[in-house]
Amino acid sequence: MSKISIVDLEVFYHVGVPDEERAQAQRLLLTVEMEHDFSQAAQTDDLTHTINYYAVTQRLLKLGEGRSWKLIEMLASDIAQLVLTEFQAAAVTVEVKKFIIPQARYVAVSLTRRTN
């Protein structure tokens, strides 16, 4: 299995436990690592045999429109499910970085999901 990574994609989503924190979209960085057998794409130079990382990126940039999450754990889970179902990754690891605690560079969660 091979891996395609999107590292530190900057998005602005409504996230936070208190209502006032969710009121404004806040900057998050997403890292998404997708496992996929792209050996056929490497042989044929054909995009249809791999995961189109541009399409994944565009989907993630729009994911937060009209939505909100209380927990970045739920957000990471939703992103993982989206990548598995819409882009047919064999497995995905998602990291969400949030910049909410002034004394820390960031707070992050990460999770890995596989297709059944």
Catalytic residue among 62, 70, 97, 98: 98
The DSSP call for residue 70 is: S
Beta bridge partners of 5: 33
Taking CA atoms, 87 is separated from 51, 84, 96, 104, in Å, by 6, 6, 19, 34
Query: Measured between alpha carbons, how far is 68 from 63 in angstroms, rounded to an integer?
Result: 10
Query: Does the annotation mark 3 as catalytic?
Result: no
Query: Measured between alpha carbons, how far is 113 from 24 in angstroms, rounded to an integer?
Result: 29
Catalytic residue ranges: 98
